[in-house]
Amino acid sequence: MTAAQRREQEKVTYDAFLRECPSRQLLDRLSDKWVALVLAALAEGGSMRYSELARRLAGVSQKMLTQTLRALERDGLVTRTVTPTVPVTVEYDLTPLGASLHAVVRHLKGWAEAHMDDVRTAREEYDARSA
Amino acid sequence: MTAAQRREQEKVTYDAFLRECPSRQLLDRLSDKWVALVLAALAEGGSMRYSELARRLAGVSQKMLTQTLRALERDGLVTRTVTPTVPVTVEYDLTPLGASLHAVVRHLKGWAEAHMDDVRTAREEYDARSA
DNA sequence: CGGGATCCGCACGGATACTG
DNA sequence: CAGTATCCGTGCGGATCCCG
């Protein structure tokens, strides 16, 4: 039992370590389905309004869009500017930090476009072999 | 109703587009909680056995570890070598493709280590403001 | 040792309705 | 227009048991 308990403790410690790990946190952010899309939309289109984003990312629920934007704003990656017209106008834009993150994401995109064909053929071979 | 139906259709089309998108697929892979960790472990430690990986990534369930390894093998990112000793020995290693992906992931890690402090302080400010 | 199969909880995301 | 609040289904991942 003592061995099992030690294992348990190690897992907890490792989990804590992972929560602290900056890379892990970044990965968790990016894995949010819409983060990369929002980043790309804002990087390409400049500052955009809520409804523009909603239209651009067809398929996103407003709940997810809001949630994503709040998270990005909280992380200092986008700015949210409210103009008190009637009705209200809200503009979203990338911060320099957000723009730099987008640059990194574009590296990912680059790898994807360069190598995903290899991955695809690997998959087909694998599936054919196991069939 | 026709407008709503058109919206629906647009969403379906966009969803299909996203499924085809190489970057999206890559992001989906990386977002799997353990993929990056396995990549890092193999890149650092060279070829490793199943139980070595399990020990190194304390906290992973064997189901997830197996699932992750299968997915990576299917994508041609790692090799799985079975040596029919008694009991069986299974070695996992990175393919060149897997190694190149790991290089990209390390860029992410670089960004994370360089900027996550900014993110952290941004969060604290945000939380303080909303409190 | 290196898994496969199964059951199960719960958290994440979608749909809907309402508001300033 | 730009959200907030609420309900709800399901799918991901953990735990457990078993096998070659």
Q: Is B73 helix (H, G, I), strand (E, B) or coil?
A: helix
For the residues of B88-100, what is the DSSP string, one character each? Answer: -EEEEEE-HHHHH
User: In chain A, what are the domain boundaries?
Assistant: 18-130
Which pLDDT score is estimated for B3? Answer: 65
Nearest to A15 by CA among B43, B34, B28: B34
Q: Which nucleotides of C are covered by protein (CB under 7 A)?
A: 1-6, 13-17, 20
Q: Per residue in A100-112, pLDDT tens?
A: 999 999 999 999 9
A63's tokens: 């709940």
Of the listed ranges A18-27, A73-82, A84-93, B111-120, the one predicted with least confidence: A18-27
Q: Per residue in B60-70, pLDDT tens?
A: 999 999 999 99
Given the candidates 1.10.1060.10, 3.40.50.11610, 1.10.10.10, 3.90.420.10, the CATH classification of the domain at A18-130 is: 1.10.10.10
Q: Do A97 and B10 touch (CB under 8 A)?
A: no
What residues have CB less than 8 Å from A28, skipping those under 6 apart?
Answer: none
Predicted TM-score (pTM) of the model is 0.90
Question: Rounded to an integer, what distance in angstroms lies between the CA atom of residue B105 and that of residue B101?
Answer: 6
Q: Which nucleotides of D are covered by protein (CB under 7 A)?
A: 1-6, 13-17, 20
What residues have CB less than 8 Å from A31, skipping those under 6 apart?
Answer: B27, B30, B31
| Rounded to 5°, angle at Cα B66 from B60 and B68 | 80
Q: Per residue in B13-70, pLDDT tens?
A: 877 888 888 888 898 898 888 999 999 999 999 999 999 999 999 889 999 999 999 9
Q: Is the CB of A66 under 7 A from strand D?
A: yes
